[in-house]
Structures are given as structure tokens and as C-alpha cells.
Amino acid sequence: MSGTRNSGLVLVILFMSVIVNAQTLDGGIPRLQSQGNATQLIVDGKPFLMLAGETGNSSASDLKYLDSVWPKIVKMNLNTLLVPVYWELIEPEEGRFDFALVDGAIKGARKHNIKLVFLWFGTWKNSMSCYVPLWVKTNQERFPRARDAQGRALEILTPFNDENLKADAKVFTALMKHIRKIDAVHHTVVLVQVENEIGMIPDARDHSKEAEKFFGTSVPTELLGYLQKHKESLTPELKKAWGNNGFKTSGTWEEVFSKGLQTDELFMAWYFARYIDAVAAAGKKEYPLPMFVNAALIRPGYKPGQYPSAGPLPHLFDVWKAGAPAIDFLSPDIYFKNFAEWSTRYDRPGNPLFIPEAQNIQSMANAFFAIGQLNAIGYSPFSIESLDHPENNDVSRAYDVLKQLTPLINANQGKGTMAGALLDSASHKARIELGEFVFNVRHEYSWPYGARNQGENPRYGCMIIMISPTEYFIAGRGVVVTFEPRSNDGSTAGIGIVDQGRFSGGKWIPGLRMNGDQTHQGRHMNLPGHTYSIQKVQLYKYK
């Protein structure tokens, strides 16, 4: 009798487990969701801002080494770690999968209360096919390579071959199935990057026999249909390339876009996108986590073939959006000084901004700008574990402040109540209108009473969050802010109260009252350049 009861109980438990798992996969899985004019990453039903870092390329290939990384990550106030997953180590022999590294990364992340973004190092990593297994590398007849204009084989698998695609899609599908199996309830893994910095180099396009065959055929109707439907909103570069030949709606690649490196790059972008879309779609059938691709950016003056061409670059956005609908967004890896310019080019409707790689020695003021001005869902310095003094470095100090502000940031994203400024030698001031006031933000070194620098000014910046038309939180470092009314009624902006403080448990705890010399007798507010901090400002108007 008791055995019957136990059997029934087991059946009930199993039934409830199925229901819970189904609900988790249907409603609790990490997803992207619009809020106002922004997009947020939703994890466990709540907005999740990624204060992230990416490990070095080899750091996740040994679990003992990765175990040494976790304490550093915690000390630097990260809540997310970007970790590579390697095809050659997951499938060392065809059809035999080893997920020990995946399991170890997830286990370590859970133990330290960190979320993961897995980076799929599959067919391509930084253009090259260096992470494909040896059984793929050595079977060039079955898994052919791209070739340069002289016919020489490159360390790049061609995207024009079904065997290459099927092999990648098969292992990626197995990976996503495994992640679902062990993580569908916990949601440790919140995003997946498909491949890494895809692109053709040193030629703008593949010259293998398979590629030449496709290049000589008609431009796919799917792409031409997209161009016609979105003609008025196409990127200027693509619209010009199409318009040079009269906006043709049929023909070969050179007949539609004319002959040249630009057409070579468009051609490759389409077929890279189609390949990535097939891999991502296959994985999403098993576990539909949000997926993205990242781009290696273009050095000034470089032409297609001199940089990793045909990747998800700003001038190729439309080709990638048309060719890879299974990819949720495109991201830039920014190692150049003009961070504001590149990040702004990726801030597009329907494309949430995420910076998966940034130079780790650059100022974290970039993060304040990306999140405050562009509603970024996250920021991630590269080789995060290599930074010294994790308990007290630029990353740990910046993320401490951003962690305090996260509830306010999440509540204000996409509502037009946040802004940001990024200042250095090239741009030392910004003008921001928010609520009833104008914020004139200047680099601390450009202020008459500020510090001086003999060389290049350090990268400083801030974010501003409006909590009422006259009350604001301003956070960052190295800026001096003056105020003026937006109304043209002859009034003057007055500084009512400025408090330096911090958030604890979501509650604002004021510290020093910043008055007298700290506000230049009520003329400005200043976030000192030596560290990151938060000040609450209450303004008023008088005549």
C-alpha cells in the first residue's frame, strides 16, 4: 500500500517537474524586452544590467586556472563573465562531445553568483578557423577552406560549403541542448555569442571554386526584397552602392552593386550572415537564449581586405539584419580611442548596445557613457583577469558605483530620463538637456581652477539620471558641471542642494554636503577625477 502511495507521489513530482521546466523555458528564460526606446536584457523576470568582463582567449580551457579567476571577478564587482567555449575541446573526435569545461564554468559562476555569456569559438575566431578540431583541419577535401585571389588556401573555412556548416551547427546544437539540460532552471547563462569577429582577410572575398560559383549567380531574392522594403532607411553606404547601378532588383552581384571591393564585401557579408543564421537557428531550437555576433572594427583609411571584412560592421548592418534574423543584435569590440563614435553607430532601433570587448586599460568612463547615453545592456573589458589589484582598480571602482545605480538605471532606460558625457583631449565639453535644465559638462582639466596635464587628457565622463524635473543623480569622475534653465524666461539656475553619498540596499545614504568651496560658492558641481563617485543635485530657478 505504501509502495503505491510512493509511486503516486513520484508521478506527481515528475509531473510537477515537467510543468515547472516548461514554465521556466516558456516564461523564465533570459530574453530581450523593449522599454521605451531601449531594449533590456530580462533575467528571471527582471531587467539585468551586465557589469561584465571577458576572460583571455585561453583562460577557460583549464578549470584549475578558471577557478583562480573567480575571486578576482568578485573583487572587481562584476556580475557577468564572458567565457569562450571551444569547438576543438568540446568535440575532439567527431560525434564525441565533452562538456566538462562548460559544466565547470557554470558551476564556478553559480558558486560566486555570477552570470555567464558564452562565446562560441566555432568555425571562426578573429577571422581564422583556429578553434576547429584537428579532424576538421586535416580533412580539407571534406571541409574546404577559403582561398585568396591567387588560389592559395587560407586558415579560414569557406562559408560556401554545406559540410562546414553542418559540422558547426551539429556541435553548437549539442552545446545549446546541454546548456538547457543543466541550466534551464538556474539561468546562469544569459547570452551566447555565435563565432567571434568574423571577417575575410587579406582579400575582401573568398576566391574558392564554391565562392566563385556563388559570386557569378544572381543576388538572392531575400536580400533584394529586404533592400526594396527598407530602401529609405538603408545605411548610406549600402544605399549608395545599390543606387550606383540604378537600384536594380535583379542581376549578379556586380550587375546590382557594380564591380569593386565594396561589392566583394557585400557578397561575403551576406553569406557569412546566412551561415551564422543557420548555426544560431539550429541552437535556438534546443534552447532559445538571446544570441549576438561581434565585430572587429576598421582602422582609419583601411579598405576591405585590409581589415576583417564583411563582419557585422555598421555599414553592413542591413545585410546582416536581412541575412541573419536568428541573431538578436550586433555588437562592436572597441579598442580605438573614438569610443563614443563607434558605440553610437551601434545604437540603432532594434539593436540593443552591448560592448563585449573593450580595452581593459582604457578609462571605465566609457561604461558610464554607453549605459547613460545609449542605454547599453552591458559593458565588458577584455582580459579582465589580467588586471592588477582587483580589489581597488579602475574597473572595481567604476563597477561599485554602477552596481549601486543599477536599480535606477534599469528603471530609467529608454524613458529619456538618462544621459551621459564622455570627455578627453578631443572633446572636452558636452551640453545635455534634461528635465527643466541644461547641463554644461566640462572636463576637469579644462576648468580654470582644475588640474593640468602636460600630455593627453585622461578619459573622464559621467551619467545623469533624472528623478524629478529638478532632482538628479550625477555619477562618474573628472567632470565639472554648470547649470542653466531650459526655459527662455530670463531666470537663472540655482544649486539648491548637492550631497555626495552612496546607495546601500537600494536606499540613498547622503554623506558630505557639497557646498562652499566644493561647489565654488554655488556656481558648479564637481566629480573629482581621482575616483568614481555619486552626487545628488537639487536645482531651482530664480530671477
Q: Looking at the domain assignment, is residue 235 inside a domain? A: no
What are the C-alpha distances in Å from 26 to residues 45, 110, 182, 517? Answer: 12, 22, 16, 57
> Per-residue pLDDT for 338 more than 90?
yes
Contacts of 384 (CB under 8 A, 6+ apart): 53, 54, 55, 72, 73, 76, 78, 81, 360, 395
What are the C-alpha distances in Å from 494 to residues 515, 525, 538, 543? Answer: 13, 11, 9, 10
Which helix (H) or strand (E) covers residue 161, if one does?
none
Q: Looking at the domain assignment, is residue 370 inside a domain? A: yes
- Cell triple for residue 461? 565622463
What are the C-alpha distances in Å from 384 to residues 125, 184, 215, 267, 477? Answer: 19, 27, 41, 36, 21
Is residue 402 located within the same domain as residue 530? no
Is residue 488 located within the same domain as residue 379? no
Sheet of 31-35: strand order equals 31-35, 38-43, 46-47
Domain encompassing residue 115: 49-217+267-412
Q: Looking at the domain assignment, is residue 262 inside a domain? A: no
Rounded CA separation 113/105 (Å): 12
> Per-residue pLDDT for 516 more than 50?
yes
Rounded CA separation 388/396 (Å): 11
Q: Are 141 and 131 in contact (CB under 8 A)?
A: no
- What does the CA dihedral 422, 427, 432, 438 come to, rounded to 10 degrees? 130
Is residue 176 located within the same domain as residue 318? yes
pLDDT in tens, 469-514: 999 999 999 999 999 999 989 999 999 999 999 999 999 999 999 9
Is residue 116 located within the same domain as residue 135? yes
pLDDT of residue 425: 85
The predicted model gives 454-468 an average pLDDT of 91
Ordered DSSP codes for 366-435: HHHHHHHHH--SEEEEBSGGG-S-TTSSHHHHHHHHHHHHHHHHHHHTTTT-EEEEEESSS--EEEEEET
> Per-residue pLDDT for 15 more than 50?
no
> Per-residue pLDDT for 327 more than 60?
yes
pLDDT of residue 179: 98
Strands 291-296 and 38-43: unpaired
pLDDT band at 315 (very low <50, low <70, confident <90, very high): very high
pLDDT band at 16 (very low <50, low <70, confident <90, very high): very low
pLDDT of residue 9: 36
Q: Indicate which CATH number applies to the domain containing 444.
A: 2.60.220.20
Name the DSSP class of 46. E
Out of 392, 412, 432, a domain closes at 412
Is residue 477 located within the same domain as residue 390? no
Reported pTM: 0.93
Q: Looking at the domain assignment, is residue 481 inside a domain? A: yes
The predicted model gives 65-72 an average pLDDT of 97
> Per-residue pLDDT for 337 more than 70?
yes
pLDDT of residue 7: 38
Rounded CA separation 13/500 (Å): 53
Rounded CA separation 385/66 (Å): 9
Rounded mean pLDDT of the chain? 93
pLDDT band at 452 (very low <50, low <70, confident <90, very high): low
Rounded CA separation 460/524 (Å): 17
Q: Are 187 and 29 in contact (CB under 8 A)?
A: yes
Is residue 304 located within the same domain as residue 159? yes
Rounded CA separation 179/172 (Å): 11
Lowest average pLDDT, out of 13-17, 96-100, 129-133, goes to 13-17
Strands 115-125 and 189-196: parallel
Is residue 271 located within the same domain as residue 354? yes
* Interaxial angle between packed helices 394-412 and 365-374, expressed in degrees from 0 to 180 and rounded to the nearest 10: 10
Q: Are 184 and 300 in contact (CB under 8 A)?
A: no
Rounded CA separation 77/516 (Å): 34
Is residue 398 located within the same domain as residue 501? no
Strands 291-296 and 189-196: parallel
pLDDT band at 21 (very low <50, low <70, confident <90, very high): very low
Sheet of 437-443: strand order equals 429-434, 437-443, 479-485, 525-527
pLDDT of residue 451: 59
Give the amino acid at 55.
T
Rounded CA separation 511/502 (Å): 8
Is residue 293 located within the same domain as residue 425? no
Out of 382, 412, 442, a domain closes at 412
Lowest average pLDDT, out of 9-13, 202-206, 428-432, goes to 9-13
- Cell triple for residue 75? 573583487
Q: Looking at the domain assignment, is residue 138 inside a domain? A: yes
Residues paired with residue 218 on neighbouring β-strands, in sequence order: 252
Out of 358, 388, 412, a domain closes at 412
Is residue 317 located within the same domain as residue 408? yes
Residues paired with residue 309 on neighbouring β-strands, in sequence order: 200
pLDDT band at 449 (very low <50, low <70, confident <90, very high): low
Q: Looking at the domain assignment, is residue 464 inside a domain? A: yes
Instruction: Write the secondary structure of 69-132 as one string of H (helix), E (strand) and C (coil).
Output: HHHHHHHCCCCEEEEEEEHHHHCCECCECCCHHHHHHHHHHHHCCCEEEEEEEEEEECCECCCC
Q: Looking at the domain assignment, is residue 12 inside a domain? A: no
The predicted model gives 297-301 an average pLDDT of 95
Residues paired with residue 525 on neighbouring β-strands, in sequence order: 481
Q: Looking at the domain assignment, is residue 35 inside a domain? A: no
- Among residues 414, 535, 467, the alpha carbon closest in space to that of 39 is found at 414
pLDDT of residue 503: 98
pLDDT of residue 25: 52
Is residue 395 located within the same domain as residue 427? no
The predicted model gives 388-402 an average pLDDT of 96
The predicted model gives 401-430 an average pLDDT of 96
Determine if residue 251 is left, alpha or beta; phi over 0 gives left, psi from -120 to 50 gives alpha, anything else beta. left
pLDDT of residue 352: 97
* Interaxial angle between packed helices 236-243 and 261-286, expressed in degrees from 0 to 180 and rounded to the nearest 10: 120
> Per-residue pLDDT for 13 more than 70?
no
Share of the chain above pLDDT 90, in %: 88
Is residue 455 located within the same domain as residue 494? yes
- Cell triple for residue 339? 569610443
How many structural domains compose the chain? 2
